[in-house]
A and B are shown apart, each in its own frame.
Chain A
Amino acid sequence: MSYNKELYQRVILDHNKNPKNFREIKNATHSSHGFNPLCGDDYTVYLTVDDDEVIQDAGFVGAGCAISKSSASLMTATLKGKKIDEARVIFDQFHKMVLGELDPEKDENRLGKLKLFVGIREYPSRIKCASLGWHTAIAALDKAEDITTE
């Protein structure tokens, strides 16, 4: 497979330093808290979903490693303007990619920029970092209040 195996690419490091949508959304329609007890990564994700089930706004706050933070940052950027169903599909594809079950170069997908995280598959212990924000967002959509990755 021809992908950049390097984990800490420039874009990931930039999103870690200056995360996008790194803010609380006061009147969000959905929010959830995600926590990884293994490393203490801790985020709250906020989503504003309109009547047509389109995610109008997405934001997050919290603290954690560069992988979890940059992933949550790219996630919020991706989610804005997507329908809930689409968001779920993208999460599923993202999850499969980091697990090594989907090859973003060969298999059809809507991952876009999220392909950056393909290198995670080489680091099994970091998969939870990359997917914490996503699990939290999906839990928010499912109306679960608290999730942990354990």
Chain B
Amino acid sequence: MADASTVKIKTPAFDVEAIRKDFPILSQTVHGKPLIYLDNAATTQKPRQVIDRMYKFESEEYGTVRRGAYKISEHSTQLYEESRQKMAGFLGAPTKDEIVFTSGTTQAINLVAYSYGRKFIGAGDEIIISNIEHHANTVPWQVLCEEKGAVLKVIPVNDDGDLVMEEYDRLLNAKTKLVAVNHVSNALGTVNPIKEIIRKAHDAGAKVMIDGAQSAPHMKIDVQDLDCDFYTFSGHKMYAPSGIGGLFGKMEVLETMPPYVTGGDMILQVTLEKSTYQKPPSRFEAGTPPISQVIGLGEAIDYLNAIGIEKIGEYEHSLLEYGTRLLSDIEGLRIIGQAREKAALISFYLEDAHPHDVVTILDEDGIAVRGGHHCAQPTMKRFGVPATTRASMSFYNTPEELDALAASIQRCIKIFS
């Protein structure tokens, strides 16, 4: 096994020890061992800056948004809209009103399915997803197809975990109304060639929704350059609280869409007979939103920007390379997903130990990883495994933690041999 001291991670500008001090949870212990948190694809930890900002907001500034004409409400509304502006900047959206807040990616995809999908997709129309999607980007389309008599088509994936683009070319046709794929697969780590996917879909006259849950926190996103129609995100996967997320939608598309959830805040005028709707994004944000979570999201974006998303991506990539090398050396371990381009995530399968047992053994060593089907059962089926163990990295992880991961996996193999 390689030794951390002999393998230097070549990112001199990146002071991971200083960064780790920003994350209070990283100094916790589990079963008497220092916590090694490697389940970042499921959810990320929060820096003190985000926690403190929310604490300050809750204790000194909290008021409702978009309603009250008094000081603290106006102030809350301003902070709320500033977060929207920050999110727009983070994704490269042209205007802040093209950012719609939802509870997360799941709800954002449902918004597109129910609002856009119900209006614009009909019998015989086709929707294209891929074989490596999260259930959140599978089930809403199945439901819509069933309701409308539309047809769901699936881009296959090769043994490495790359989408078979020739098949995608074949699937696209005049009936294709929407292509919905993830930017990064949460089960395999594959970074999909979404720019090409988007361009080809547009050439065929289809709209494109990108599930960005796994990509937004790890790489530079520019929705204008990508030219996607929708791009979703989840706050809790980008160092912000859970309960907040949303999507970018092109204004020209959002404007054509009816409300998805109805009630207060999304209307212009209500009489007992009929209501007229607000413009986007308010049209899609009925009810009182998770205010402090939105403020926290804004703070998380500031935090990420201060480090620099490119630098984060570079460092995480060096972790991925290091971890892949370490795990490849383990006999009996099969890495599931070796795509040309990958995010910092390693899904693996041990011949003799089931992922659930692996997770329990690793937990005894303080290591938090995910074992299961990662809400991607069709992907597991494609690769012939019931489940995998997944170590997903963040810029606060270290090569030493990956050494501990490899050692713990070895211990596991020994127990089950």
Contact = CB atoms under 8 A, between A and B. Distances in A.
Given A16-B416, A38-B372, A39-B373, A66 B353 contact: yes
A63 B353 CA distance: 12
Given A16-B416, A65-B356, A66-B353, A8 B361 contact: yes
Nearest to A8: B415
A41 B361 CA distance: 18
B357 interface: yes
Nearest to A66: B357
A65 B380 contact: no
B360 interface: yes
Contacts of B377: 40
B370 to A, nearest CB: 11
Contacts of B386: 39-42, 63-64
Among A16, A17, A64, A66, residue most surrounded by chain B Cβ atoms (within 10 Å): A66
B66 interface: no
A63 B385 CA distance: 11
A67 B358 CA distance: 11
B416 A67 contact: no
Interface in A109-149: 123, 126, 129
A63 B387 CA distance: 11
A84 interface: no
A39 B415 contact: no
A66 B371 contact: no
Contact of B354 (A7, A13, A66, A123): A66
A39 B372 contact: yes
Main secondary structure of the interface of A (DSSP, over half): mixed
Interface string B329-372: 00000000000000000000000011111001100000000011
Contacts of A66: 353-354, 357, 416
Interface string A6-28: 01100001001100000000000
A8 B357 contact: yes
A123 B356 contact: no
Contact of B356 (A13, A17, A42, A67): A67
B357 A39 contact: no
Contacts of A123: 360
B170 to A, nearest CB: 31
Interface in A20-73: 38-42, 63-67
B28 to A, nearest CB: 19
B354 A64 contact: yes
Contact of A67 (B357, B371, B372): B357
A40 B355 CA distance: 10
A39 B387 contact: yes
Nearest to B353: A66
Contact of A126 (B356, B372, B373, B380): B356
Contacts of B357: 8, 65-67
Contacts of A42: 386
A13 B416 contact: yes
Nearest to B412: A8
Among A8, A63, A67, A123, residue most surrounded by chain B Cβ atoms (within 10 Å): A8
A65 B372 CA distance: 11
A126 B372 CA distance: 13
A126 B360 contact: yes
Nearest to B415: A8
A65 B354 contact: yes
B119 to A, nearest CB: 33
Contacts of A126: 356, 360
Nearest to A6: B364
Interface string B379-394: 0100000110000000
Contacts of B354: 39, 64-66
Contacts of A17: 416
A63 B357 CA distance: 13
A40 B353 contact: no
A39 B356 CA distance: 7
A39 B355 contact: yes
Contacts of A63: 386
A39 B380 contact: no
Contacts of A40: 372-373, 377, 380, 386-387
Contacts of A39: 354-356, 371-373, 386-387
A42 B354 CA distance: 13
Contacts of A13: 415-416
Which 7 residue pairs are nearest across A and B when measured between Cβ atoms?
A: A40-B386, A65-B354, A65-B356, A66-B357, A65-B357, A40-B387, A39-B356
Given A39-B373, A41-B386, 9 more contacts: A8-B415, A13-B416, A16-B416, A39-B355, A39-B371, A40-B387, A42-B386, A126-B356, A129-B356
Interface of A: 7-8, 13, 16-17, 38-42, 63-67, 123, 126, 129
28 contacts: A7-B360, A8-B357, A8-B360, A8-B361, A13-B416, A16-B416, A17-B416, A38-B372, A39-B355, A39-B373, A39-B387, A40-B372, A40-B373, A40-B380, A40-B387, A42-B386, A63-B386, A64-B354, A64-B356, A65-B356, A65-B357, A66-B357, A66-B416, A67-B356, A123-B360, A126-B356, A126-B360, A129-B356
